[in-house]
Amino acid sequence: MTSFSGKTAWPTGTECVAKYNFQGTMEQDLPFSKGDVLTIIGVTKDPNWYKAKNTLGREGTIPANYVQKREGVKSGGKLSLMPWFHGKITRDQAERLLYPPETGLFLVRESTNYPGDYTLCVSCEGKVEHYRIIYHNGKLSIDEEEYFENLMQLVEHYTKDADGLCTRLIKPKLMEGTVAAQDEFSRSGWALNMKELKLIQTIGKGEFGDVILGDYRGTKVAVKCIKHDATAQAFIAEASVMTQLRHNNLVQLLGVIVEDRGSLFIVTEFMAKGSLVDYLRSRGRTVLGGECLLKFSLDVCEAMEYLEVNNFVHRDLAARNVLVSEDNIAKVSDFGLTKEASSTQDTAKLPVKWTSPEALREKLCFYCFLPSDIPSPTLLLEIYYQQGLPLKEVVPRVEKGYKMDAPDGCPAVVYDLMKQCWTLDPAVRPSFRMLREKLQHIRAKELYL
């Protein structure tokens, strides 16, 4: 490897983000603007320059010190939108944390005298002042004159103006072991500029927020907008997982925006044809044809094999969580339940109808090629068939060996794969690699006809 400035050169395929504008001075240079995403395609004779291409495919040379390498965010649960929030600590503990005195040093804790409320603790001129934060009509206030939607908005307000407090909030006292999410996304090259994002129209509504069609620097994007600070905190884990994953059959994260006022925006590539489940239901198996259905199955399988190889478990694989691009590529999305396979898993919230029997029975978490709204234990069947079964009947029937009949017109070789995925013994159940290889064989030999 060549190097520049004492650092190892980035390998081919490395993504980087422009830190500054670069107009270029030579014909072979690749001009770019601050915030542009570039991909390294080679080194040059000069170790201070790379060969790179932009998102439009244009290639040229770029100065190494004008770009920042994009890295996966691996702080996981340590990332916090509110690193100054210390939870259930006492008044004395807060005062010890804010020692030695430093005017403007602050933290927020849960109130011990008024359960359910919060307390803002601020160091000022050698002592600590404690301000009760009360709830009123669903909003937060200190003086009952200024009201805020959440803690992040409240803290942001008082960092700009003391507004009746003993001092303006100057420096947060971070909870031990936490990392400020905005700082970490910026450091790793995933923070986007809100001023360059145009929100166009809502294209989906969910329990935790809206999905909005947007435009980021001239490119159509999908924006998951989470406005409540506690909910946004939960989605930080999803965003951090997405920074570590890159595959053509996974919906690609473009970046993250953390607003001071408590909103989190997760910006991804726009998938023009929506969810796979809606795509299938609106067109029907006969309209799409066997080759298209098989390709969707293979697309999903390749994505899951990639996760499997990289020790990630999706835990919520379903046709509703697979999106279809303009050019009919199926991509797995919604990584809210995705965790590294080695981590401790909470099975209490596992989706029953598409979780393996042993995971439900023994409270173990196994990845499974499983669906959402139907009782089939494979996404393959969800692609080929739509049918319902009462939730209480799902687990006992599957444990007793129940297997749904093959959908009308489903190729026998595909149905055989479905039945293999239903095997109760996880050691015998095919891996995603095996499924991918078998699907490729079926496709190559046109056995789906």
Q: d(Cα 297, Cα 334) in Å, to the nearest integer?
A: 18
φ, ψ for residue 391, nearest 5 deg: -55, -40
Q: Which residues are annotated as a binding site for ATP?
A: 224
Q: d(Cα 63, Cα 444) in Å, to the nearest integer?
A: 45
At 223, the amino acid letter reads V
Q: d(Cα 250, Cα 322) in Å, to the nearest integer?
A: 9
Is 107:97 a contact under the CB 8 Å cutoff? yes
**Catalytic residue (choose from 36, 299, 316, 334):** 316
Q: d(Cα 275, Cα 264) in Å, to the nearest integer?
A: 23
Q: Scanning the structure block, which residue is given the tokens 């600070």?
A: 229
Q: d(Cα 345, Cα 333) in Å, to the nearest integer?
A: 20
**DSSP annotation string for 287-334:** HH-HHHHHHHHHHHHHHHHHHHHTTEE-S---GGGEEE-TTS-EEE--
Q: d(Cα 335, Cα 254) in Å, to the nearest integer?
A: 14
Tokens (6 digits) for 216: 């980021």
Longest dimension (CA), the chain: 80
Q: Which residues contact 390 (CB under 8 A, 6 or more apart)?
A: none
CA distances from 174 to 78, 80, 191, 192 (A): 11, 10, 21, 24
Q: Which residues are annotated as a binding site?
A: 224
Q: d(Cα 152, Cα 167) in Å, to the nearest integer?
A: 18
Burial level of 392, CB count in 10 A (0-12/13-18/19+)?
A: exposed
Is 306:358 a contact under the CB 8 Å cutoff? no
Q: d(Cα 61, Cα 262) in Å, to the nearest integer?
A: 39
CA 337 to chain centroid, in Å, comes to: 9
H or E element that contains 444: helix 432-444
Q: Scanning the structure block, which residue is given the tokens 């990392």?
A: 179
Is 37:70 a contact under the CB 8 Å cutoff? yes
316 is catalytic: yes
Q: d(Cα 168, Cα 155) in Å, to the nearest integer?
A: 10
Q: How many residues does the chain have?
A: 449
Q: d(Cα 307, Cα 321) in Å, to the nearest integer?
A: 15
Hey, which residues are catalytic here? Answer: 316
